[in-house]
């Protein structure tokens, strides 16, 4: 027995991290969130070139499609391959048949000049017709000047800002620094330690937060609209919904699966067409929050786009060869690890 739903949306992803699985251990064991950034992710992103970004995005897009996810809100950083990086990600997703909202996460970590080049990549991509938001890494790696420039650029382009907010305690000042900048079209990611209300939608990433030991974000206590993201750990949104559910049950046993399901639904504001994509699942109650919350391992069997194209058939992508994508991605991963 099977059942159908709309295509799902991953509300916060890092497609550049698809190659990271199996990467060599960092030289020193990280003991907190900041050290995880410094010793894992900031070493990885500086080693990326456009070819690695392409195969990482393509592998991530295939993973998403095979999980019934037809839309991705991506947040990208590659300080040594900034220019053109968003085009590469958009192209890889388009070739697989997955919709993507791109953003380049600007930061002053590599100097003010690199911050400006990041802004320019957002501007160039979006003003030339790319679907995007203006990306910002996080307030704690940006000067006030860069935060204001990003906010102003987003306004000029008529899009929101996609930014990590108070993910770890290191970014506790984010609330006060963003209070006068944040707008209702901003996407605020994590908000674990956010000390006040900010305008915008919150992307909650339960698995990533547990993995980084940053604490529980208590999204149900916020007045913002909530959506769900994976923060780069695949794009299986039914799985993330189950995790969101058990994470809040550990905090408040009165909450029902309907809440986490509504967080999946909320993301159609960002990519409305996904609502008209159709996913057929390996389980006969995949449209019921109460079934999905207690049924691990539901698989996407087929995906039909809103335009009527078969994108996934018998669990396999139709536009690209799965084995080839995995093979090329593993070659790119080997180059990436060697460079790190
Ligand atoms: Zn993230």
Give residue-wise pLDDT tens across range 180-196: 999 999 999 999 999 99
Q: What pLDDT is attached to residue 248? A: 98
* CATH architecture assignment, domain 8-273: Alpha-Beta Barrel (3.20)
Q: Residue 3 C-alpha to ligand 1 middle, in angstroms? A: 31
Among residues of the chain, what percentage have pLDDT more than 90? Answer: 94
Average pLDDT for the chain: 97
Ligand 1 mean position to 11 CA, how many Å? 10
User: C-alpha distances in angstroms, 125 versus 122, 131, 135, 338?
Assistant: 5, 8, 12, 30
Percentage of the chain exceeding pLDDT 70: 100
Strand extents, DSSP E, 17-118 = 69-74, 99-101, 105-106
* pLDDT for residue 226 is more than 90: yes
Top-confidence residue, 233 or 28: 233
Q: Which residues contact 170 (CB under 8 A, 6 or more apart)?
A: 33, 34, 140
How far does the centroid of ligand 1 lie from the alpha carbon of residue 75, in Å?
Answer: 7
* Position 20 confidence tier, pLDDT thresholds 50, 70, 90: very high
13 C-alpha to ligand 1 centroid (Å): 6
| Mean pLDDT to the nearest integer, 46-61 | 97
Which pLDDT does position 25 carry in this prediction?
Answer: 87
Partnered with residue 9 across adjacent β-strands are 71
Quote the pTM value.
0.97
Question: Domain locations in the chain?
Answer: 8-273
- Under the banding of pLDDT at 50, 70 and 90, the label for residue 256 is very high
Residue 22 in this model has a pLDDT that exceeds 90: no
């Amino acid at each position: 027995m099977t059942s159908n739903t709309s295509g799902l949306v991953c509300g916060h992803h890092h497609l550049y991290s698809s190659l990271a699985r199996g990467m060599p251990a960092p030289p020193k064991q990280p003991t907190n969130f900041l050290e995880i950034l410094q010793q894992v992710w900031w070493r990885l992103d500086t080693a990326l070139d456009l070819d690695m970004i392409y195969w990482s995005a393509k592998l991530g897009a295939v993973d998403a499609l095979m999980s019934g996810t037809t839309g991705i809100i991506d947040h990208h950083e590659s300080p040594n391959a900034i220019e053109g990086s968003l085009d590469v990600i958009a192209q890889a997703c388009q070739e697989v048949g997955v919709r993507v909202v791109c953003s380049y996460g600007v930061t002053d970590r590599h100097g003010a000049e690199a911050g400006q080049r990041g802004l320019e990549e957002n501007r160039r991509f979006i003003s030339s017709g790319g679907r995007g938001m203006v990306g910002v890494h996080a307030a704690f790696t940006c000067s006030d000047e860069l935060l204001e420039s990003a906010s102003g650029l987003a306004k000029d382009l008529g899009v929101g800002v996609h930014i990590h907010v108070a993910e770890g305690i290191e970014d506790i000042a984010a609330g006060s620094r963003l209070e006068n900048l944040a707008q209702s079209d901003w996407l605020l990611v994590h908000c674990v330690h956010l000390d006040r209300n900010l305008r915008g939608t919150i992307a909650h990433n339960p698995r990533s937060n547990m993995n980084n030991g940053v604490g529980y974000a208590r999204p149900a206590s916020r007045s913002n609209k909530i959506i769900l993201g994976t923060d780069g750990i695949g794009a299986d949104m039914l799985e993330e919904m189950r995790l969101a559910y058990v994470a809040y049950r550990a905090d408040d046993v009165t909450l029902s699966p309907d809440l986490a399901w509504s967080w999946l639904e909320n993301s159609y504001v960002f990519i409305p067409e996904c609502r008209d994509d159709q996913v057929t699942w390996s389980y006969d109650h995949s449209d019921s929050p109460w079934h999905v919350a207690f049924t691990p391992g539901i698989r996407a069997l087929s995906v039909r786009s809103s335009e009527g194209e078969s994108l996934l058939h018998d669990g396999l992508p139709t536009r690209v060869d799965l084995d080839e994508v995995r093979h090329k991605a593993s070659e790119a991963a080997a180059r990436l690890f060697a460079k790190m």
